[in-house]
Structure 1
Amino acid sequence: MDLLAFGRSVLESQPFSSLLGCTLHSLEPGKAQLELIIEDKHRQQHTFVHGGVVSYLADNALTFAGGSILGDSVTSEFKINYTRPAIGDKLLAEASVVAAGKRQAVCDCKIYAVEAEAKKLVAVAQGTIVKA
């Protein structure tokens, strides 16, 4: 089965992901990229993207990366560090597996704000993904 097509079907089955307008840009063993076109509904009172939206992208990207190795998976835990306000046209989350065993994977993720093809790092995250 095509891993990217399968991953997109999983993402489409998540009502919250549909609500936010998230897309799975790429998925290969051990790596995932999610994209989100920034809309007004994603912003907080200072006009940059709400931290909860950035955190959502990290959580989902981490789990897609881990799940690409483990199969059906969920997030056991993750942490996030915000590095700057998320301002731009879209957000890009790039996650990869750092280490994996039979039941869990440790993954990391970088989230970028993209404007006019320039990427600026807005957050970094690390998490543990476990088989469902």
Structure 2
Amino acid sequence: MSDFLALGRAVLAQQSFSVLLGTELLEFEPGRAVLALQVKDAFRQQHGFVHGGVISYLVDNALTFAGGSVLGENVLTVEFKVNYLRPARGERLIARATAESSGRRIAVCRCDVVSVEGGQEQRCAIGQGTIALAG
């Protein structure tokens, strides 16, 4: 495991909400982060799809990790948006985020979220956001 990935996992372990949800940091390198989440029944809404709030959380956190990978670990989300493409089904969600542009204080990042069902990935959401150095 790289030192960069180990640092990212240490940061994730300090986020009690992420720990509660069972979020994993699969990949972390400058300009890129991949987070995953096993889907629990508690994450589903009344129609059996993963609740949009769970997907939104995953987008926000993946964007912030991607931004932090180029700005440093003391970052916050300034704003983000999510476009839901289709209902998320399956047993796992994976969010792949990249820093598309960055300066000294802010980074603009994008994220694709896929749901995994029976080993097959289907994109369910796209996100974009601005990440900034805190303080």
TM-score range, shorter chain: over 0.9
Q: Residue 84 of structure 1 aligns with which residue?
A: 86
Taking the aligned partners of 1:88 and 1:24, their CA distance within structure 2 comes to: 19
Q: Residue 117 of structure 2 aligns with which residue?
A: 115
Letter in 2 for 1:20: L
Structure 1 residue ranges, 4+ long, deviating more than 2 angstroms after superposition? none
What's the TM-score once normalised by structure 2's chain length? 0.95
Taking the aligned partners of 1:3 and 1:59, their CA distance within structure 2 comes to: 20
What's the TM-score once normalised by structure 1's chain length? 0.98
Matched, 1:24 2:28: no
Structure-to-structure mapping, 1:66-81, within 5 angstroms: 66-71=67-72, 72-81=74-83
Secondary structure of 2:88's counterpart equals coil
Letter in 1 for 2:18: S
Q: Residue 43 of structure 2 aligns with which residue?
A: 42
Alpha-carbon RMSD across the aligned residues, in angstroms, is: 0.9
1:19 CA displacement: 1.1
Taking the aligned partners of 1:18 and 1:57, their CA distance within structure 2 comes to: 12
**Identity rate, percent:** 55
1:56 CA displacement: 0.2
1:98 to 94, 97, 100: 100
Taking the aligned partners of 1:94 and 1:50, their CA distance within structure 2 comes to: 19
Structure-to-structure mapping, 1:48-59, within 5 angstroms: 48-59=49-60
5+ residue gaps in structure 2? none
Matched, 1:124 2:126: yes
Q: Count residues with an aligned counterpart.
A: 132
CA deviation profile, 1:57-102 (whole Å, cap 9, x unmatched): 0000000000000002110000000000010110000000110000
Secondary structure of 2:33's counterpart equals strand
Taking the aligned partners of 2:122 and 2:56, their CA distance within structure 1 comes to: 16
